[in-house]
Structure 1
Amino acid sequence: MQLDLNLLTALDALLEEGSVTDAAARLHVSAPAMSRTLGRIRRATGDQILVRTGRTMTPTPHALALRATVHELVQQAQAVLSPHTQIELAALERTFILRWHDALAAAVGPALLHSLRAEAPGVRVRFLAEASTDTHDPRRGDTDLEAGSGEPSSPEIRHEIAGHDRLVLALRPAHPLCHGPLTIEDYAAADHITVSRRGRLRDPVDDALEARDLSRRVVAAAPTIATALQFVRRQDLVVAVPQLVSRPLLDDLGLCVRPLPLTMPAIPIHLAWHQRYDNDPAHAWLRGLARTALSQACESTGDPARDPADAATDEATDEATDEAAGGLIAE
């Protein structure tokens, strides 16, 4: 029996998208054509592959068992048929979609865009905000590269740590704690604001304080770093924010920045992309420039401004997971 190897590409798209319509859009064919292709795949495999459950399509156990093998075969075929790994950057015309934490895009995005345009003037970049819900699925193909503190959970998503950020204390210059020695007791006694898109009044700082038999009073929660810093700018409040991603706002607002008088884990910055881009030369180039921009930004982040008397209270920062750190923005 002679098989059409193009069915592998269609099967790979169907299993990743879980939808005839979305698979058709991905392969630039009509939905009826993809539906007919699914029929051919069913006849070839002797399995339904995708079955309707309500409004969605669910892969069969046989389809789930095939998924990894099918994807690997498609990747190998693409490598064979596209053996070149060099791209002409000067002639490259492509639009990349980057879904980055907004503060991270503000802090590192300008340097990345400068590097991209210097090497490939025809490239355009769309920076998108992080998804407003937890149901965003990068497998849908609407994102080329993600960056943030969260580690992807799907095995289909590749990721690497491009650097680490750390929490610092931000307060207005007129705040009593802006100058002079800062003890952990002074810090705990201040009025605090948290950063949480879900309005949570507690974050990992509270756990660190409780380990020292201390507690703090959180008077408000702000949904973003930018909002929290506006509160801090106008009132005697303190907030713990990631130094790297907050640096543009801290500089623009003229806020006082001090080391936290307690040890907090470092915050990993993850780059993530779908495995379909592994062998894409242009995407590999994009990842390389993003990796460089992020690592250089992390390396350039020095100690926050402080009085000499503060040296005794500046404790070393431990590297740890994002779960321990609470993320760039707490949920």
Structure 2
Amino acid sequence: MGLDLNLLVSLNALLEERGVSRAAARLGLSQPTLSISLGRLRRHFGDELLVRQGNSYTLTPVAERLLESTGHALAWTDRVFDTRPTFAPETSERNFTIVMSDAQLPIFGRALADLIGYRAPHVRVSFQHSTARLIAPTLEWLPTVDAVVLPQGILTDVPHLDLYSDDWACVVSVDPTSPPGLSLQDMSERPWVMPYHPRTPVISVLHHLNQSGVEPRASIITEDFLAVPHLVVGTDRIGLMPRRVASLTATASVRVAEPPFALGRITETMWWHPVHEHDPAHRWLRSVAVEAAGTLETTDG
């Protein structure tokens, strides 16, 4: 059966919206037109894809599996047709998609967005939040984004460049009766708020803690660094964050507390799929990323 790219767009909308009417409204099509597309898709896959249950539709097991890949396929298709022999930042309307954590976004993400906005006023940047679920299968979805920012050592065998350095810091609730720093006893006995699961490769700081005789008791695990201060305030919990964002979020109620030993450095690194290596627009993005990271190091100095 002959298929075209429009059917991929229809399939993605039907699966995400789980119904013909909402998908048709999203695509600006009539319901009869989209119903014809659904019929073609059902014949192609030999599956109903959408099954009515009462007043709504549910996805079949085949449709559930397709949903995992249709968004990536569309993103990849967009990149194919966005490719140009040259890149003119002053006039380009390119959309760059970059994956990074919420600890990197207000620091490096802000600096990068400001530079792009100044150099390429019509270019748009889409920031996506990195999670533990994304980190493990990174190589599977890496071709569908322009770049991912992760600590050095998480990925291997793909192009990358080191951006800027940071270190781990502890945050605690402000208590005028407590000493300014943390003792080994504090770190061993008090509960912790840990970003990601402690065994996630991102959290290399666990090695430094263990070497110093501390086995942190993680009472709360979160994938949102910016939530850590809110989970610490008013408690005896110790939160773990990169220092730059910890300093940024410090308030009258939450402060950085120095441990009796260094928790280790972080080198934030940009990674991309080899398919982007020679794209003029991507080369420009990488050069701006290096410049944006340089402004952070200059500020530190």
- TM category (shorter chain) comes to 0.5 to 0.7
Tell me the distance in 1 between the aligned counterparts of 2:176 and 2:243.
19
TM-score w.r.t. structure 1 length?
0.56
Alpha carbons of 1:183 and 1:108: their partners in 2 closer, same or farther (altered >3 Å)? closer
Paired position in structure 1 for 2:153: 151
Alpha carbons of 1:205 and 1:138: their partners in 2 closer, same or farther (altered >3 Å)? closer
Alpha carbons of 1:288 and 1:188: their partners in 2 closer, same or farther (altered >3 Å)? same
Paired position in structure 2 for 1:142: 144
Q: Does 1:249 align with 2:230?
A: no
Match runs of 1:113-262 below 5 Å: 113-131=113-131, 132-133=133-134, 134-137=136-139, 141-149=143-151, 151=153, 153-155=155-157, 157-174=158-175, 176-177=177-178, 179=180, 182=181, 184-188=183-187, 191-198=190-197, 207-212=207-212, 214-215=213-214, 218=217, 220-223=219-222, 224-251=224-251, 254-262=253-261
Bigger Cα Rg: 1
Paired position in structure 2 for 1:71: none
CA deviation map 1:136-188 (0-9, x unaligned) = 43566320011121535453x20121121101221122164453xx3643543
Match runs of 1:256-295 below 5 Å: 256-295=255-294
The structural deviation recorded for 1:270 is 0.8
Give SS of 1:89's match: coil
CA contact (8 A) 2:182 2:258 kept: no
Tell me the distance in 2 between the aligned counterparts of 1:95 and 1:282.
10
Tell me the distance in 1 between the aligned counterparts of 2:255 and 2:294.
25
Tell me the distance in 1 between the aligned counterparts of 2:284 and 2:253.
36
Tell me the distance in 1 between the aligned counterparts of 2:168 and 2:290.
21
Tell me the distance in 1 between the aligned counterparts of 2:274 and 2:244.
28
Tell me the distance in 1 between the aligned counterparts of 2:250 and 2:290.
24
CA contact (8 A) 1:150 1:270 kept: yes
Tell me the distance in 1 between the aligned counterparts of 2:283 and 2:93.
15
Paired position in structure 1 for 2:20: none
Stretches of structure 1 lacking an aligned partner (at least 5 in a row):
1-20, 26-54, 56-80, 303-331
CA contact (8 A) 2:205 2:264 kept: no
CA deviation map 1:20-74 (0-9, x unaligned) = x99xx9xxxxxxxxxxxxxxxxxxxxxxxxxxxxx9xxxxxxxxxxxxxxxxxxx
Pairwise CA RMSD of aligned residues? 3.5
The structural deviation recorded for 1:248 is 3.2
Give SS of 2:96's match: strand
Paired position in structure 1 for 2:110: 110
